Amino acid sequence: MAISRILVVDDSPTERFFLSELLVKNGYLVSMAESGEEAVAQAKQNLPDLIVMDVVMPGMNGYQATRMLTKEDATKHIPVIMCTTKGQETDKVWGMRQGAKAYLVKPIKPEELLSQIKALG
Protein backbone atom coordinates (compact mmCIF):
# COMPACT_ATOMS: atom_id res chain seq x y z
CA MET A 1 0.00 0.00 0.00
CA ALA A 2 1.43 3.36 -0.98
CA ILE A 3 1.28 5.96 1.76
CA SER A 4 -0.05 9.32 0.65
CA ARG A 5 -2.31 10.63 3.47
CA ILE A 6 -0.74 11.12 6.90
CA LEU A 7 -2.39 12.23 10.14
CA VAL A 8 0.02 14.17 12.39
CA VAL A 9 -0.97 14.13 16.08
CA ASP A 10 0.80 16.46 18.52
CA ASP A 11 -0.37 18.96 21.12
CA SER A 12 2.53 21.30 20.21
CA PRO A 13 1.74 23.70 17.33
CA THR A 14 5.49 23.94 16.64
CA GLU A 15 5.86 20.17 16.27
CA ARG A 16 2.73 19.91 14.11
CA PHE A 17 4.08 22.67 11.85
CA PHE A 18 7.55 21.10 11.61
CA LEU A 19 6.21 17.64 10.81
CA SER A 20 3.56 18.83 8.36
CA GLU A 21 6.06 21.04 6.49
CA LEU A 22 8.48 18.12 6.18
CA LEU A 23 5.81 15.71 4.99
CA VAL A 24 4.15 18.13 2.52
CA LYS A 25 7.57 18.97 1.00
CA ASN A 26 8.01 15.24 0.43
CA GLY A 27 4.70 14.86 -1.38
CA TYR A 28 2.36 13.68 1.38
CA LEU A 29 -1.14 15.00 2.10
CA VAL A 30 -1.25 15.95 5.78
CA SER A 31 -4.09 16.39 8.25
CA MET A 32 -3.55 17.29 11.89
CA ALA A 33 -4.97 16.60 15.33
CA GLU A 34 -4.06 18.20 18.68
CA SER A 35 -5.06 15.37 21.02
CA GLY A 36 -5.52 11.63 21.30
CA GLU A 37 -9.29 12.02 21.26
CA GLU A 38 -9.17 14.13 18.10
CA ALA A 39 -6.75 11.64 16.50
CA VAL A 40 -9.09 8.70 17.09
CA ALA A 41 -12.09 10.62 15.73
CA GLN A 42 -10.21 11.81 12.63
CA ALA A 43 -8.69 8.40 11.94
CA LYS A 44 -12.15 6.77 12.01
CA GLN A 45 -13.62 9.46 9.77
CA ASN A 46 -10.79 9.98 7.24
CA LEU A 47 -8.87 6.66 7.37
CA PRO A 48 -5.37 8.06 6.73
CA ASP A 49 -2.64 5.77 5.36
CA LEU A 50 -0.38 6.46 8.35
CA ILE A 51 -0.48 8.21 11.73
CA VAL A 52 2.47 10.06 13.30
CA MET A 53 1.59 10.09 17.02
CA ASP A 54 3.01 12.09 19.93
CA VAL A 55 2.82 10.39 23.33
CA VAL A 56 2.71 13.17 25.94
CA MET A 57 -0.58 15.02 25.43
CA PRO A 58 -3.31 16.24 27.78
CA GLY A 59 -6.34 13.96 28.04
CA MET A 60 -5.90 10.75 26.07
CA ASN A 61 -2.17 10.21 25.57
CA GLY A 62 -0.53 8.70 22.50
CA TYR A 63 -0.24 5.25 24.05
CA GLN A 64 -3.97 5.17 24.79
CA ALA A 65 -4.92 6.52 21.36
CA THR A 66 -2.63 4.03 19.58
CA ARG A 67 -4.04 1.14 21.60
CA MET A 68 -7.59 2.23 20.76
CA LEU A 69 -6.81 2.65 17.03
CA THR A 70 -5.02 -0.69 16.69
CA LYS A 71 -7.87 -2.57 18.39
CA GLU A 72 -10.72 -1.12 16.31
CA ASP A 73 -11.65 -2.98 13.12
CA ALA A 74 -12.07 0.27 11.15
CA THR A 75 -8.58 1.59 11.98
CA LYS A 76 -6.39 -1.38 12.95
CA HIS A 77 -4.83 -1.52 9.46
CA ILE A 78 -3.41 2.04 9.82
CA PRO A 79 0.27 1.98 10.87
CA VAL A 80 1.28 4.30 13.72
CA ILE A 81 4.72 5.85 14.13
CA MET A 82 5.22 7.23 17.64
CA CYS A 83 7.30 10.42 17.80
CA THR A 84 7.97 11.44 21.38
CA THR A 85 10.39 12.87 23.93
CA LYS A 86 10.00 9.67 25.97
CA GLY A 87 13.27 8.00 25.02
CA GLN A 88 13.71 5.25 27.59
CA GLU A 89 13.83 1.67 26.32
CA THR A 90 10.80 0.85 28.50
CA ASP A 91 8.85 3.66 26.80
CA LYS A 92 9.69 2.23 23.39
CA VAL A 93 8.74 -1.31 24.41
CA TRP A 94 5.44 -0.02 25.82
CA GLY A 95 4.73 1.98 22.64
CA MET A 96 5.33 -1.06 20.44
CA ARG A 97 3.09 -3.16 22.72
CA GLN A 98 0.28 -0.66 22.15
CA GLY A 99 0.51 -1.42 18.44
CA ALA A 100 2.96 1.17 17.09
CA LYS A 101 4.94 0.04 14.03
CA ALA A 102 7.88 2.37 14.79
CA TYR A 103 9.06 4.56 17.67
CA LEU A 104 11.16 7.70 17.10
CA VAL A 105 12.56 9.97 19.81
CA LYS A 106 12.38 13.77 19.47
CA PRO A 107 14.01 15.81 18.15
CA ILE A 108 12.93 13.96 15.02
CA LYS A 109 15.55 13.58 12.31
CA PRO A 110 13.75 14.18 8.99
CA GLU A 111 15.60 11.41 7.13
CA GLU A 112 14.79 8.92 9.93
CA LEU A 113 11.05 9.70 9.80
CA LEU A 114 10.96 9.59 5.98
CA SER A 115 12.78 6.25 5.87
CA GLN A 116 10.34 4.77 8.42
CA ILE A 117 7.40 5.97 6.31
CA LYS A 118 8.93 4.40 3.18
CA ALA A 119 9.58 1.14 5.08
CA LEU A 120 5.89 0.96 6.07
CA GLY A 121 4.64 1.94 2.59
pTM for this entry = 0.96
Write down the pLDDT at residue 1. 60
- CATH superfamily for 5-120 is Response regulator (3.40.50.2300)
Cα–Cα dist 86/31, whole Å:
24
Containing H/E element for 50?
A: strand 50-53
- Can you say how many angstroms the Cα of residue 97 is from the centroid of all Cα atoms in its chain? 15
User: Could you give the C-alpha distances from 87 to 12, 32, 84, 117, in angstroms and in order?
Assistant: 18, 23, 7, 20
Write down the pLDDT at residue 56. 95
pLDDT under 50 in the chain at which residues?
none
Write down the pLDDT at residue 30. 98
DSSP 51-75: EEE-S--SSS-HHHHHHHHHHSTTT
Q: Are 105 and 85 in contact (CB under 8 A)?
A: yes
Write down the pLDDT at residue 77. 97
SS3 label, residue 98: coil
Write down the pLDDT at residue 31. 98
Contacts of residue 101, defined as CB under 8 A and 6 or more positions apart, other chains included, come to 79, 80, 81, 120
| Residues 10-41 pLDDT 10s | 999 999 999 999 999 999 999 999 999 999 99
Write down the pLDDT at residue 114. 97
